[in-house]
């Protein structure tokens, strides 16, 4: 099985008529994803390489049965786009856009929780989600993924998402689903959201978790692993050498007041029973050992 998305998922792209939306939307379709619609109120009735364009997400959902929206529009319009998608009837919204203002993220995150609690938000500023061989939504290169399980991946870092996929694929270890949750201060999907899904998925036998400095998400995930996970976890935390008070890459990746350090996160994960690598390659090797002993 896969979590969140599979071969039956139908995707509407908000921003399909833009250069980035078109590029990745068509790549996702070429991968095998059911990309059934795009939206642009100024281009309704047109198409992008045969994919129909609708004025709104609601129109696209009604006409095509789309159940996931992928947002590829500039940051200032993301808040309105997210709410349009939720109001349009999709069950999941994947926001690829980076640079979304933190106050906008907080506002639409809370609006969704309050008014659309059943809608799953992934991102902003994330690479998206791929269930190899079934569905790829976002900017992950499908060529580096391999289906067939037994490993689920969840990562805050886009680049390290790709490396985790590549490391496992090079070792002949398939993946069920890989979720890039993004590194912004207000992520729509958390480590725990994914860990819960992987724990419940019968085809996922082990989980690779990639974290980074800043915030407390990894420590919270460690508590969940300790209390609720029966499946083995291999982890890596980026930012071991990051100096306090300096933002490293992601807006949420900042160590402040001695909190959010890589060392503290690694200690918490080890205490929870996870195997922690000192670098991404070592984490992949740890996962290979775990899979060999399943």
> 146 with 259, same domain?
yes
Residue 88 near residue 143, CB atoms below 8 Å = no
| Residue 168 within a domain | yes
The residue from 60, 92, 122 where one domain ends is 122
Note the pLDDT of residue 243: 64
Residue 198 near residue 3, CB atoms below 8 Å = yes
| Residue 106 within a domain | yes
Domain that holds residue 89: 10-122
> 217 with 262, same domain?
yes
Instruction: For residue range 243-255, list pLDDT tens digits in order.
Output: 665 555 554 444 4
Active-site residue list:
250
| Residue 41 within a domain | yes
| Alpha helices (H) along the chain | 19-31, 57-64, 78-88, 102-115, 158-170, 191-200, 217-228, 262-271, 280-292
* Cβ-based neighbours of 291, under 8 Å, separated by 6 or more: 150, 151, 173, 205, 206
The residue from 122, 154, 178 where one domain ends is 122
Dihedral sign computed on CA atoms, order 186, 192, 195, 201: negative
The residue from 88, 122, 156 where one domain ends is 122
How big is the CA angle at 35 (ends 29 and 40), to the nearest 5 degrees? Answer: 120
- Alpha-carbon radius of gyration of the chain: 18
Note the pLDDT of residue 255: 47
Three-class SS state of 256 = strand
Burial class (CB within 10 angstroms; exposed 0-12, middle 13-18, buried 19+) of 97: buried
Residue 172 near residue 145, CB atoms below 8 Å = no
| Residue 136 within a domain | no
| Residue 209 within a domain | yes
| Residue 42 within a domain | yes
Q: What is the distance between the alpha carbons of residues 162 and 107, in angstroms, rounded to a whole number?
A: 30
Specify the residue for token string 């364009």. Answer: 53
Note the pLDDT of residue 260: 75
CATH number at residue 216: 3.40.50.261
> 25 with 153, same domain?
no
> 102 with 146, same domain?
no
> 170 with 276, same domain?
yes
Q: What is the pTM of this model?
A: 0.94
Note the pLDDT of residue 273: 98
Note the pLDDT of residue 158: 87
Note the pLDDT of residue 253: 46
Instruction: For residue range 179-191, list pLDDT tens digits in order.
Output: 999 989 899 999 9
> 285 with 151, same domain?
yes
Of 111, 110, 40, 47, which is closest to residue 73 (Cα–Cα)?
A: 40
Q: What is the distance between the alpha carbons of residues 92 and 112, in angstroms, rounded to a whole number?
A: 11
Domain tally, the chain? 2
Q: What is the distance between the alpha carbons of residues 131 and 134, in angstroms, rounded to a whole number?
A: 5
CATH number at residue 111: 3.40.50.720
> 81 with 147, same domain?
no
| Residue 133 within a domain | no
Which two structure tokens, joined as six digits, stand for 186? 């207000």
> 19 with 48, same domain?
yes
| Residue 281 within a domain | yes
SS3 track for 122-137: ECCCCCEEEECCCEEE
Under DSSP, the state recorded for 179 is E
Helices 102-115 & 78-88 angle (0-180, nearest 10): 10
> 157 with 260, same domain?
yes
> 118 with 158, same domain?
no
> 107 with 163, same domain?
no
Specify the residue for token string 């000192």. Answer: 278
Residues of the chain with pLDDT under 70: 241-259
Helices 158-170 & 280-292 angle (0-180, nearest 10): 40
> 147 with 235, same domain?
yes
Note the pLDDT of residue 239: 78
In the sheet that holds 120-122, the strands lie side by side as 47-48, 51-54, 34-39, 10-14, 68-71, 92-95, 120-122
């Amino acid at each position: 099985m896969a979590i969140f998305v599979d071969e039956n998922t139908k995707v509407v792209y908000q921003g399909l008529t833009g250069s980035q939306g078109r590029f990745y939307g068509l790549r996702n379709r070429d991968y095998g994803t059911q990309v059934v619609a795009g939206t642009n109120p100024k281009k309704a009735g047109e198409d992008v390489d045969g994919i129909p364009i609708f004025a709104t997400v609601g129109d696209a959902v009604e006409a095509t049965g789309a159940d996931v929206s992928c947002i590829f529009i500039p940051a200032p319009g993301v808040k309105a786009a997210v709410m349009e998608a939720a109001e349009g009837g999709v069950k999941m919204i994947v926001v690829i856009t980076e640079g979304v203002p933190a106050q906008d993220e907080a506002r639409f995150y809370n609006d969704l929780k309050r008014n659309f609690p059943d809608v799953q938000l992934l991102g902003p500023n994330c690479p998206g989600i791929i269930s190899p061989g079934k569905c790829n939504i976002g900017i992950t290169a499908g060529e580096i993924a391999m289906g067939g399980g037994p490993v689920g991946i969840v990562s805050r870092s886009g680049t390290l998402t790709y490396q985790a996929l590549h490391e496992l694929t090079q070792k002949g270890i398939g993946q069920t689903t890989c979720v890039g949750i993004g590194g912004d201060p207000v992520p729509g999907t958390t480590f725990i959201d994914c860990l819960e899904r992987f724990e419940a998925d019968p085809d996922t036998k082990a989980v690779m978790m990639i974290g980074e400095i800043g915030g407390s998400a990894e420590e919270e995930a460690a508590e969940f692993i300790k209390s609720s996970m029966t499946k083995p976890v291999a982890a890596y935390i980026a930012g071991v050498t990051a100096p306090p008070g300096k933002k490293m890459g992601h807006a949420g990746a900042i160590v402040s007041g001695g909190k959010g350090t890589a060392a503290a996160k690694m200690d918490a994960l080890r205490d929870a029973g996870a195997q922690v690598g000192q670098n991404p390659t070592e984490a992949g090797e740890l996962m290979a050992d775990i899979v060999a002993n399943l």
